[in-house]
Amino acid sequence: MRLLRFGRFTAATLLGLSGCVSVYPAAEGSFQRTLEVTAPISLEVTTGSGKIEVRAGSPGVVKVYAIVKARDDHRAAGEEKLRRIQANPPIEQTGNTIRIGRTTEEIYRNVSISYEIQVPEETRLVTRSGSGSQRIERLRDSVNAGTGSGSIAIFNIGGDVSAHTGSGSIQLDSVQGSIDVRTGSGSVKAANIAGSAKAVTGSGNISIAHAAKSTEFVDTEAHTGSGRIDFSGVTGSLRASTGSGSIEAAGRPGSDWKIHTSSGSVTLVIPHDVPFDLNARTGSGGIDVDHPVTLKGALSRNQLTGKVRGGGMLVAVQTGSGSISIR
């Protein structure tokens, strides 16, 4: 019996000394602020844990609504944290530059803050979250979004977009500038992209569709460790690789195309008025080309080199195991 009581006492003592685990529920509350600005503005939003949502609202004002969850080693301390944050929220404004959530104060330890923010359309945005999803909509300037873990969704942006997450999907639609997106694990889907596009994922499918009205030569690049890659509307250079998965691409090679998959098929759709140089190789699989090819060297089942309509930009395709089809 004494040993049992001693064991209980020791566990409680260690728990109290560690301060790392709280059995008390989080104190929950919110704060709201309205800031007057003159567009264009620069906005930076940071949270250690929590969602971030930013969308266009009324001109001349920034409206911030935040949901706060505060924990501590006892309930009263968590509630005191909450009251202090509500009274003095982490918002700094210098003219048209606003910083929200950027702080290293001890009071924000074990605190989660989720933000819903409305801004003028003419806003340049940077967001950072240790853990939490992000959604950004209807801004005319550039967006730079990052989270350690969580999905990112960005729609209707007038400038360039950069987005990265350690783990989670990324979805983009209707971006007038270029995009550069990366995820450690998760899918990438980008549609109606007017500018150049680069997408990288450690594991997951990638889909990039350029805007139909795009007539400029814009570069496109995508890499995944494991997953399928799909492109449409490509007008410039193309770089694509996957360790395991198929690749499909449609467009007009305005610069060289270089495509590689270790295991998986490759299908290209190129208009029949486009001249290009062709170099197609497969370790195991057939090659089917629905274009007139002037051969260079000997013809074999696993390799085809030549010129289409007199030659032009290089289209180089290689697969370790899988068929190649060029239509």
pLDDT (tens digit, 9 = 90+) per residue, 145-191?
999 999 999 999 999 999 999 999 999 999 999 999 999 999 999 99
pLDDT band at 242 (very low <50, low <70, confident <90, very high): very high
Mean of pLDDT over the chain: 92
At 55, list the tokens. Answer: 């969308």
Tell whether 9 is covered by a domain: no
Q: What integer pLDDT is reported at residue 102 of this predicted model?
A: 79
Q: Name the residue with higher pLDDT: 77 or 265.
A: 265
For residue 132, pLDDT over 50 is answered with: yes
Question: Of 122, 146, 170, which residue is a domain's last?
Answer: 146
The SS3 of residue 233 is strand
Q: What integer pLDDT is reported at residue 141 of this predicted model?
A: 98
Question: Of 104, 130, 146, which residue is a domain's last?
Answer: 146
Tell whether 3 is covered by a domain: no
Average pLDDT over residues 87-114: 93
Same domain, 116 and 187: no
* CB 230 within 8 Å of CB 208: yes
Name, in order, each residue with C-beta under 8 angstroms of 152's C-beta and a sequence gap of 6 or more. Answer: 133, 134, 135, 136, 145, 163, 165, 168, 169, 170, 171, 181
For residue 308, pLDDT over 70 is answered with: yes
Query: 322: burial class by Cβ within 10 Å (0-12, 13-18, 19+)?
Result: buried
Same domain, 138 and 160: no
Tell whether 14 is covered by a domain: no
Reported as a single tens digit per residue, the pLDDT across 276-298 is 999 999 999 999 999 999 999 87
Phi, psi of 75 (to 5 degrees): -60, -45
For residue 256, pLDDT over 80 is answered with: yes
Place of tokens 């309930």: 75
Reported as a single tens digit per residue, the pLDDT across 21-34 is 445 688 999 999 99
Q: What integer pLDDT is reported at residue 76 of this predicted model?
A: 81
Same domain, 133 and 160: no
Same domain, 133 and 232: no
The SS3 of residue 8 is helix
Which whole-number Å values give the CA distances from 137 to 71, 132, 134, 191, 209, in the listed order? 31, 17, 10, 14, 19
Tell whether 15 is covered by a domain: no
For residue 216, pLDDT over 80 is answered with: no
Same domain, 218 and 186: yes
Q: What integer pLDDT is reported at residue 213 of this predicted model?
A: 67
Percentage of residues of the chain with pLDDT beyond 90 = 83
Q: What integer pLDDT is reported at residue 18 of this predicted model?
A: 38
How many structural domains is the chain composed of? 2
pTM of the model as a whole: 0.90
Average pLDDT over residues 116-141: 98
Q: What integer pLDDT is reported at residue 214 of this predicted model?
A: 58
Q: Name the residue with higher pLDDT: 74 or 252.
A: 252
Tell whether 115 is covered by a domain: yes
Reported as a single tens digit per residue, the pLDDT across 38-76 is 989 999 999 999 999 999 999 999 999 999 999 887 778
Helix or strand run (H / E) with residue 128: strand 123-129
Question: Of 98, 125, 146, which residue is a domain's last?
Answer: 146
Tell whether 7 is covered by a domain: no
Q: What is the DSSP string of 17-65?
A: HH-----SPPEEEEEEEEEE--SSEEEEEEESSS-EEEEE--TTEEEEE
What is the domain range of residue 104? 21-146
Same domain, 124 and 190: no
Q: What per-residue string of b and e applies to 126-139 under the rule 16 or more CB within 10 Å gives b?
A: bbbbbbbbbbbebb
Give the span between the Cα atoms of 245 and 228, in whole angstroms: 5
Q: What integer pLDDT is reported at residue 15 of this predicted model?
A: 38
pLDDT band at 212 (very low <50, low <70, confident <90, very high): confident
Same domain, 187 and 201: yes
Tell whether 141 is covered by a domain: yes
Of 12-21, 58-67, 83-92, 112-121, give the lowest mean pLDDT range.
Answer: 12-21
Same domain, 107 and 178: no
Same domain, 258 and 223: yes
Type of residue at 135? R
pLDDT band at 301 (very low <50, low <70, confident <90, very high): confident
Same domain, 46 and 29: yes
Same domain, 167 and 231: yes
Same domain, 212 and 85: no
pLDDT band at 78 (very low <50, low <70, confident <90, very high): confident
Tell whether 108 is covered by a domain: yes
Give the span between the Cα atoms of 199 and 195, in whole angstroms: 13
Q: What integer pLDDT is reported at residue 106 of this predicted model?
A: 86
